[in-house]
Amino acid sequence: MNSHGIEIRWHGRGGQGAKTAALLLADVCFKTGAYVQGFPEYGPERMGAPITAFNRISDKEIRVHSNIYTPDLVVVVDETLLDSVDVTAGLKEDGAIIINTPKSVEEIIPSLKGYKGKVFTIDARKISVEALGKYFPNSPMLAAAVAVSKVMEEHEFINEMKASYEHKFAKKPEVIEGNMKALTMTFDALRDSL
């Protein structure tokens, strides 16, 4: 992690969990001793309406409290946003973008307005349906953000998330198991491209 830390911008649609993923990432980084911010861009959050959320993660105190205009990493939870939202706006050339899509990196690049940085794709639908039996993109996209940004070691992240899920879903062991499976499947899916 560089001195100013890392800045992440999330793009999703209301109800898909992009905001939850940003807050979970802040939470898990905080628990491992980092300075963090996780916040949504406030606006009318309607089901399916485009939303933006942000993270700042650093090993030093964070003194800035604005939106993030030049992120190091952009996470796109819904690929249909590529048609309507300029997801690469301000994204650093030495940064990266992760898109939830069944398409390959080569297939998705033409939709990225000439972005020259690193591009990663993850099929969060396939992973979450296999792991959880339904479509919740936020666990795979959260794991993808950690894998690509390297804000923490994989095992550290997995342990923290397990503790967090066990606290949150104490009465639903199958949900804990499904989410843990979704996280590890995502790391496995990205391993070769990192």
Q: Minimal CA–CA distance to 102: which of 140, 145, 148? A: 140
- Residue 146 to residue 151: CA distance in whole angstroms: 6
Whether residue 16 lies inside any domain: the answer is yes
Whether residue 26 lies inside any domain: the answer is yes
SS (H, E, C) 121-170: EECHHHHHHHHHCCCCCHHHHHHHHHHHHCCCCHHHHHHHHHHHHHHHCC
pLDDT at 44: 67
Whether residue 144 lies inside any domain: the answer is yes
Number of domains composing the chain: 1
Whether residue 125 lies inside any domain: the answer is yes
pLDDT at 41: 86
Whether residue 95 lies inside any domain: the answer is yes
- CATH code of the domain containing 113: 3.40.920.10
- For 192, the token pair is 């070769």
Whether residue 1 lies inside any domain: the answer is no
pLDDT at 45: 64
Boundaries of domain holding 22: 6-193
What pLDDT tens digit does each residue of the chain (194 aa) get? Answer: 444 699 999 999 988 889 999 999 999 999 999 999 999 886 766 788 899 999 999 999 999 988 899 999 999 999 999 999 999 999 999 999 999 999 999 999 999 999 999 999 999 999 999 999 999 999 999 999 999 999 999 999 999 999 999 999 999 999 999 999 999 999 999 999 99
pLDDT at 1: 43
- Widest distance between CA atoms in the chain: 47
Whether residue 51 lies inside any domain: the answer is yes
CB 93 within 8 A of CB 119: no
Whether residue 187 lies inside any domain: the answer is yes
Which pTM value belongs to this model?
Answer: 0.95
